[in-house]
Amino acid sequence: MILYDKGKMNDVSAVGGKAIGLAKLVNYGCSVPDFFVITAGTVLDDDFAAELIGFAAILHCETFSVRSSNVHEDRMSNSFAGQYLTLLNVAKDNLFRAVKNVADSVNANRAQQYAGHFSTCPSDMAIIVQAQIDGVRSGVLFTQSFASADEMLIESVDGAGELLVGGTVTPQKKIICKDNPQTDFEYESELVAKSMLLERQEGFPLDIEWTYSDKLYFLQMRPMTVVGDALPDIPKRNWQFYVYRDFCTLVHSVQRRASESDLQERIFGFSVPIYEGLLVNGREFYSEENDAATNKIWASLDNGIFFEKFTSDIEALVRRTKRRVNHLKKMSFRDYDNARLLSAYRKEIECYIDSYAPLMMRPDDYLVSEIEKIAPFSAETADILTPVWKKTFYSEEKIDFLKARISGSADAYVEKYEWIGNPLGRTVTRLRKEDVEKRFDRITSAQADSRLKQLTASKARKRKRFDNYLDEHKDAGLNRLLRLISRFIYLRTYTAENSDRLFYYIRKKILSEIAARFNIPIEEILCMNYDEVAELKDCRRVDRTTIAKRKSGELITFFGGESRAYYGGAVSALLKKLTPYDEKMRDGILCGDVACAGEVSGRVKIVRNFSETEKVNDGDIVVTSMTTPEIVCALEKAGGIITDEGGVTCHAAILAREYGTPCLVGTKCATSVLTDGEKVYLDCVTGQVKILPDED
């Protein structure tokens, strides 16, 4: 055993991480309750029990706290917080038993699972015996808040700090600005001042446990784990919310590469960089300045034939992507050695990056602005933009489902659409045969046959209406633009669908094999960027602390043609600043853009994924972040659609117009401010949603 001694308290293998932290606190001049350390490997027998009583007497107290201090505990990479035992208010007669119980906690299931997750090995336990301090106020100070590196966070409770760290009470929270710290009590001033000094001395953010009795005591100091990156200063702009999808880090890295000028130049012979944009936890934001700069580039390129060439290039890219998909579906990579497997991955991911390039160039805003110069944009004009050029997966899906229902077999349908469970996210739910058969129960074979005939006739009518509209409006500029934007809506949608399918099969065929081969969970691989996966070779390249940080938040900034990535919990705080939900809804009114005209009242049903489409009843108002193919099932019964994301050329608008369903897009916050079962009036003439009193 070691009574505190500067010369003996620097060997982490002997005294453990927590005791090292206490020793540092003493060295820095902080008040720490008297303690001694039972070194790792000590034999806890009768001779030890007698020696323990002698050491306890030196602390001059009646009760003790007994704390674990494992070799792996309170380290930079992982904390083992709460995994081992801490016992408070231990009487002298029970001290030996308490020490043994804490020592035995190294074998607890939760500690073993935690150690296994971080690939560490069980080790001997050092134990801290400390004079018990009965604080009147206790808490934890983080020298960097989870929202900003310029702030400190204090959480505190009355009494012992174990109530706080154990999660049994809700603490009081205080945010302290480092530049101008304001506190309520003298001991808080001391706590903040010394904690700032400790952070400077240690060189990284700290998690400090403290208690106040007759004076301030420091009980523990350890590195903050999963500390987020310091976020950049985001310029004050009118940031416009554009779209939301559940992207994983791997896909975000593809988006960054697809936005770069050299790649766009290689594919299309020109580039349209993102002037100012943000990707925040999958949500895309662009400033008005960005739209103006981008539109200026498009205007300089459009000389009357430009978009015809651009769309032809995209069609060629779609054909290449489809070939890669069909090739991958037939492939097996089990017999590939590691080098060949990673080489195949690199080849396919580069095809995927190419397929994503046109999605980052966003000419649709320019096209719409050009139409508005010639004729006011109306619901009639929006309806004309239904993508009648060719079939997309969205329009094909309805036809294929009806054909499957008529035949009574779901096999071909499932094989074609197994990818629709958002393949770009960290998790994916493949379409199952039983899911399709549940949809069969909603419609008879005769009804399916009738709907198929109606759909075929409707397509013909829409094509004729489009041609008639162009004949009636003799303005050559308007006709050209309408044809271009209708074609581009189809191309953008079809490009996105084929790009999603390609990543689905990369994920299914190659990434799953890499995960098994290198013994890395697929969820972790999806939190790597595409280069990190390609460079795995024989060892893990990304530690789990970094993976955890990426899971907690992800920001990609685009400024001046360059992009940067940031990770951590502060990203969510930034998202709240960018989406002030309360400003979008006053007096029960929610506003958006009309994508398909009409008026309807109904009950709200929040739908986020395929599994939730089952709860939609006839006439319900489907509220979703965006409409992916999986949401199509809900639209068969929906009375109306409201989305967070939007624009009249978005997927939701396309689907709504195909179904003839009133649709409001771009509300920014419908999924946050509306709740399941709420009765609303959807006015897709004025572009408003009003919450109605429930009179039932």
Angle, CA 246 vertex, CA 242 and CA 250 arms, to 5°: 110
Cα–Cα distance between 66 and 189 in angstroms, integer? 29
Instruction: For residue 281, name the pLDDT band (cuts at 50, 70, 90).
Output: confident
Tokens representing 564? Answer: 């940067």
Residues in the chain, total:
696
Tokens representing 75? Answer: 């380290």
Tokens representing 268? Answer: 């299309």
The pLDDT tens digits for 17-67 are 888 889 899 988 999 999 999 888 888 888 888 889 888 888 888 899 898
Cα–Cα distance between 480 and 333 in angstroms, integer? 47
Q: Provide the total of helices (H) and of strands (E) in the chain, helices listed first.
A: 26, 24
Q: Is the distance from CB of 638 to CB of 657 less than 8 angstroms? A: no
Q: Is the distance from CB of 589 to CB of 648 less than 8 angstroms? A: no
Mean pLDDT of 93-111: 80
Tell me which residue of 492, 535, 529, 528 sits closest to 355, measured CA to CA.
492
Cα–Cα distance between 42 and 269 in angstroms, integer? 71
pLDDT at 581 over 70: no
Tokens representing 510? Answer: 């190659």
The pLDDT tens digits for 488-533 are 777 777 888 889 999 999 999 999 999 999 988 888 899 999 999 9
User: In the chain, what percentage of residues exceed pLDDT 90?
Assistant: 25
Look at residue 320 in the predicted model and tell me its pLDDT: 94
Report the SS3 class of residue 197: helix
Host H or E run for residue 392: none
Cα–Cα distance between 256 and 254 in angstroms, integer? 5
Region of residue 689 (left: phi > 0; alpha: psi -120 to 50; beta: else): beta
The pLDDT tens digits for 122-170 are 567 889 999 998 888 988 888 877 556 678 888 888 877 565 444 345 5
Residue 616 CB contacts under 8 Å (≥ 6 apart), including other chains = 605, 607, 622, 634, 637, 638
